[in-house]
Structure 1
Amino acid sequence: MIDQQKLWDTDAARQYDTPGEGMFAPEVLGPTVETLARLAEGGSALELAIGTGRVAIPLRAAGVPVQGIELSEAMLERLREKVDAAQIPVVQGDMTTAVAGGAHSLVYLVFNTIANLLSQEHQVACFRNAARHLAPGGRFVVELWVPQLRALAPGHRGTVEISEEGYLLVDTIDLLDQRLISHHIRFDPQVDGSRDARITRTPHRYIWPSELDLMAQLAGFELEDRWADWQQSPFTAESAGHVSVYRLAPPQT
């Protein structure tokens, strides 16, 4: 059993924010906020796993009222250094069960975070919780990577995803249980042959797009759009990720 509080601790929260770089780069964050603001259609939004407010803060600045759900105390403390509870209310709890406010026009879950839920059961519960927070016809947006299992060499269970100065990302994959563990290895690139390195590991359960769509159907959603990125590029068989927009189906009469 993974203790998510220990996984997303003070150290992880401190390292999470990289202003102007990585997932905080304007070319990444700008299209994300622009698309979410359009999909909110003038209503309010709820971010599941709001973290340190990477998306929520600029989305609020764009005129969308935002609430959040966040499990990690450390991530929430980091968020509160930037905005107070009057600006962005947040309920501390599990995104599969926690309740935050009334009927929103948009619920969103970005940057592969649904994969932090390590069972299919909990991932389906996340969809159902999103549905509980939406007004009729509201949207649930999920950003997720596509497993690149074709990169696995025969007989191997791991891939090197990033190799750059001072950092390696190695993913090991359990094909039976759809589990992937990312090994983040950081070291001093100026010291050849040093044994000093810092390793952190994050577990995930990967989801195929078709499986994600079935989870959505179980919670009463219909797929409205799927793009390869926030720039709304076409999603193809070669896409490394996707932004999927689900619409809450109207109740049957």
Structure 2
Amino acid sequence: MSNQQELWDSDAAQRYDTPGEGMFAPGVLGPTVEVLAELAAGGPAVEFAVGTGRVAVPLVEAGIAVSGIELSHAMIARLREKADEARIPVVQGDMAEVTAGSGFSLAFLVFNTIANLLTQEEQVRCFENAARHLAPGGCFVVELWVPQLRSLPPGHGGTVEVSEPGYLLVDTYDVLQQHVISHHLRFGPELSDGRAARITRTPHRYIWPGELDLMARLAGFEREARWADWDRSPFTDQSRSHVTVYRLRAD
């Protein structure tokens, strides 16, 4: 996990927040917070990989008590610029291992972050850790992308996922290990450090929806719902991502 700590350094934490745009846009955050608040049903929630508080802060503003787990010291420091420890308590550490309490009504892990755990074993332990945090009947919500292996041309190991002014995203795949490395190339006069271009790389272990369901069952969960997005649109074989709600069995 030390490599993840290096990836999510102070520079990454500063660039993560894009107020009003991208994943911080009201059209993205609004439905996310609405669904999570409904599932919490007035009870406390815990966010795995709370980051800079993109979701936790507006969820608290919606009246839900939120605690967090976060590996990156830099991301926690950025969160502390928005909310103090009394408002959003955070435990620093690996979301597959550390404990932020128990008896929560809701645990959630959004924006593909479970894929930051680079082995199947770690991902299974993350589900088990979520179960330890929840009261019987509590919900675990996971937002995750669907691997786009169908878009790989024969004989090629990568795809261009985003191409727009100033930004290029290329994903390269190791299908044997279920690993994908996202290469983020940013370029143009808007770079604050004066460089012509900047490239960063983030590794992930992708998870098929059926594999995710099996991880959940091993940890004592049953799948309650799966949508293509936070607007609860139907999940289909063409969906590029999903939001899945798991319910912890009472036994």
Fold shared by both chains (TM-score > 0.5): yes
Question: 2:44: which partner in 1?
Answer: 44
Instruction: Indicate the SS of the match to 1:58.
Output: helix
The alpha carbon displacement at 1:102 in A equals: 2.2
Question: 1:243: which partner in 2?
Answer: 243
User: Structure 2: which amino acid aligns with 1:13?
Assistant: A
Q: Is the 8 A contact 1:23 1:29 kept in 2?
A: yes
Query: What's the CA shift string for 1:23-58, capped at 9, x where partnerless?
Result: 000000000000000000110000000000000000
Instruction: Indicate the SS of the match to 2:27.
Output: helix
Q: Distance in 1 between matches of 2:185 and 2:105?
A: 40
- 1:181-196 aligned at under 5 Å gives the runs 181-188=181-188, 196=196
Q: Distance in 2 between matches of 1:82 and 1:135?
A: 29
Residue 203 (structure 2) pairs with residue 214 (structure 1): no
Instruction: Indicate the SS of the match to 1:127.
Output: helix
Instruction: Indicate the SS of the match to 1:18.
Output: coil
Q: Distance in 2 between matches of 1:103 and 1:93?
A: 20
Question: 1:225: which partner in 2?
Answer: 225
Question: 2:234: which partner in 1?
Answer: 234
Q: Distance in 2 between matches of 1:219 and 1:42?
A: 24
Question: 2:64: which partner in 1?
Answer: 64
Q: Distance in 2 between matches of 1:216 and 1:18?
A: 32
Q: Is the 8 A contact 2:189 2:196 kept in 1?
A: no
Q: Distance in 2 between matches of 1:2 and 1:207?
A: 22
Question: 2:9: which partner in 1?
Answer: 9
Q: Distance in 1 between matches of 2:250 and 2:136?
A: 6
Question: 2:141: which partner in 1?
Answer: 141
Q: Distance in 2 between matches of 1:98 and 1:106?
A: 17
The alpha carbon displacement at 1:189 in A equals: 6.9
**Which consecutive unaligned segments of at least 5 residues does structure 1 have?**
none
User: Structure 2: which amino acid aligns with 1:25?
Assistant: A
The alpha carbon displacement at 1:197 in A equals: 2.0
**Percent identity of paired positions between Structure 1 and Structure 2:** 72
Q: Distance in 2 between matches of 1:196 and 1:17?
A: 22
Q: Distance in 1 between matches of 2:106 and 2:30?
A: 18
Q: RMSD between aligned alpha carbons? A: 1.2
Q: Distance in 1 between matches of 2:68 and 2:152?
A: 37
Instruction: Indicate the SS of the match to 1:182.
Output: strand
**Which consecutive unaligned segments of at least 5 residues does structure 2 have?**
none
User: Structure 2: which amino acid aligns with 1:12?
Assistant: A
Question: 1:21: which partner in 2?
Answer: 21
Q: Distance in 2 between matches of 1:52 and 1:172?
A: 27
Q: Is the 8 A contact 1:165 1:189 kept in 2?
A: no
The alpha carbon displacement at 1:166 in A equals: 1.1
Residue 124 (structure 2) pairs with residue 116 (structure 1): no
Residue 166 (structure 2) pairs with residue 166 (structure 1): yes
The alpha carbon displacement at 1:7 in A equals: 0.6
**TM-score, scaled relative to structure 1:** 0.96
**TM-score, scaled relative to structure 2:** 0.96
The alpha carbon displacement at 1:90 in A equals: 0.5
The alpha carbon displacement at 1:187 in A equals: 1.2
Question: Where does structure 1 differ by over 3 angstroms across 4 or more consecutive aligned residues?
Answer: none
| Number of residue equivalences | 247
Q: Distance in 2 between matches of 1:11 and 1:167?
A: 17
The alpha carbon displacement at 1:2 in A equals: 5.7
User: Structure 2: which amino acid aligns with 1:80?
Assistant: R
The alpha carbon displacement at 1:69 in A equals: 0.4
The alpha carbon displacement at 1:196 in A equals: 3.7
Q: Distance in 2 between matches of 1:183 and 1:123?
A: 23
User: Structure 2: which amino acid aligns with 1:9?
Assistant: D
Is the deviation greater in 181-190 or in 211-220?
Answer: 181-190
